[in-house]
Chain A
Amino acid sequence: MAMSAVARDTVFALRRQIAKIEGTLPERLQAPAPGAPINAGGSDMTLVRRGLAVAAADAFLHTGIDRLDTALGGGLPKAALSEIHGLETRDAGAVAGFALSLVSLILKEKQGLPILWVGTAEIFHEAGLPYAKGLHALFGIEPEQLLFSEAPKLLDALWIAEEAARMTAFAAVILEIRGSPRLLDLTATRRLHARARNAGRPVLLLRQAGAADPTAAPVRLIVSAAPSTSRETVAGPLAGSIGRPAFKVDIGKSRTALPGQFTLEWNPNEHAFAERAENSVAVVPTSQRGADPAPASGAVLAFPALAAPATGDQPSRQQHPAHRSPRRAG
């Protein structure tokens, strides 16, 4: 029994340390039930570290796509800074659209709360100002719910975002920045993240044409536009028409997931995401060193043979026929 108590202490000490590193308050750690069996040996005990999984269950915004939610370790953290990157400024439409669809999902729970969109004068000039009429039609965001803040300089934009992030009156704060300015470093993102966590409100940092700088945000998504499907009519898809908005989402950084790519389609009527099945190609190569550590990240449809854990180590015969068959032939 004594052994078990010591082990439990150690585990808790380690957990607290991890929580400290991750920035989660130790109070929010869930202590195991008193009767829970603790392995006295301690050797095969694994602490499953899942990002903010120690926090409450409603700490995540569920995108509605199981595969993406699982890959992110439960969804997008609600009380945190999340980065959404666009590789080029011309992706601004897709990045803004994806961020607003997330906001639209948040607004399902917090109806009527306003949104603040902070940007520098540069980005609004380069990528255009969000257009209230378009947002209303696509995401159900009323014009009265929108507030823009145009800061002359980046420093001012960061100040506004920080001040707004500590308020609970906004459903979400969107900060949009172009390029990779030096001011937006680890410290700045950490400050934003800390405020968002304390207020319990999401801060979305949209970065247009920026590099993947070090960031305190637990999640970084890289969004680009995906070709849309045709409009659905009673008589079937209407050829040549442009249907619902579609996004290609890459997970650039996440504490729990391996990088992955998803093609999502936004349904403006239901205000929900749908995953496009025919494009769901696994772009993640299977791990060469061991079994796939994330088997739960969804069914891999294009190469079903690779999904089996047993073939994780060895390339299958179909995958490498090129350099074997000719030799045999010769």
Chain B
Amino acid sequence: MSPLALRELLSNLRLWLAAGPLLALTAALTTITFSMRSLNQALAEDEVGLMDQYDATLLALVLLAGLAATTVSVYQVAQRTRRRVANLAIAGLTPSGASTRFSHQVMGVAAVAAAVGICVGWATAPVAMRFIAWASSGHAGLEGRTDAHAILGSFVITLGLALIGATQGASQARSVEPIEALKDRPFQPRKGSRRRLWLAGAGGAGAALTAVLTAVLPGLESLRYRPLEAANITATCAGTTTALLAIFFWAAAPAYCPLLIRAWTVFLPRHRLPALSLGRSGAAFQARRSLEAFNLILVGALLAGSTLSIYFARSALDTAGRGWVAARDVSGVVLAGVPVLVVLTGSVLTVVVTARSRVDEARVLRLSGATGRQVLLAGFTEAFILAVTATLVAMIGVAIVGLTTGIGLAQVATAPDWPATLGFDPVAWMAPLGVMVAGMALVTAVALPTLARGLRQPLF
């Protein structure tokens, strides 16, 4: 790496801010999740296969959350650094050079973030184990095991996630034209091309993930644990369905998100309060900003709800006769929060990165005569609309996952009277609502101070 490239990497604050913490968090959570496999050592031999599979499914969900958050963050950083790339392009940087330079920057950030994340994971895994042991009262001997596999796996996974994000971001960097350096506002990709890019990226990621989930994991596990083969495959199918649903809703969001927002917000009394109308317009027409927040909240709500849905289906299985241990229940709940944590962190970082556009917007609104209260209310309305819309979509996804899980488990069950609606538990339904409230609170908590800062700044 040349000195110029290194200086550029160190000075790209947006990239460090957006991608760094997310990748570090993903690495830490992956280390912890891997380490939780040591839980199995303390459990009965005949349950190990199912539990390995359960861990694998949850790990896949964590990775999906990390993938979504990281890809969105890196992509948006690439879009926001177009001017910087254009300045280099006008000095003679080729498109492939710009693309390579951006990829190297992302991977540099990822390497540092992975190292940090693994250190954090190493330190916190034993704490998580002790918590589970304490909560399950009876497995005091459990210990976190952060072995070489966990470290290597976390490093490879983090770099892999960064590579997917970097590939999308690099395509953005490649498309920058030198003329953009001379424009007041850089050229924006047309809506169609943006949608195609999202669909292609999400489709590729989905296909890869599906291949891993459906082929590798059940194959390995069923070879080792023959008696539980059917249940393993069912559990994996449920996880795969969740992943596919998340990817589908995520990829298709540019097409349906603005329409959905415009449809249900018709009922808001926006003609009485101009700030509601401004918030609605912000949510429906600030396409890029909205989609970033929408997707992150959506994936978080969907994953949390679906994970809990699978978890409750398993609990129903347990109630019906198959033995489960308390440690499994607690670890299930702990792991259900993991995707939420990744995604909510992503939401906050997204909003932080979009702070500039919000400050500009506050300034323009003030120039139009809006009061400070109207600007803040518009910001809150926008966050509310995005969170509610994402949650509505996520609840549909949770319902589908609950149904597929229930049907799957009922089919493999030995007792014919198990209900097909095993996954429909009120708590699973509450999870997206909880994520909605948390997401809205976080978006509001970050957006409102930003808007308030915009209000304090001079108009010119």
Q: Are A and B subunits of one complex?
A: no
Which of B's residues lie within 8 Å of A, judged by CB? none
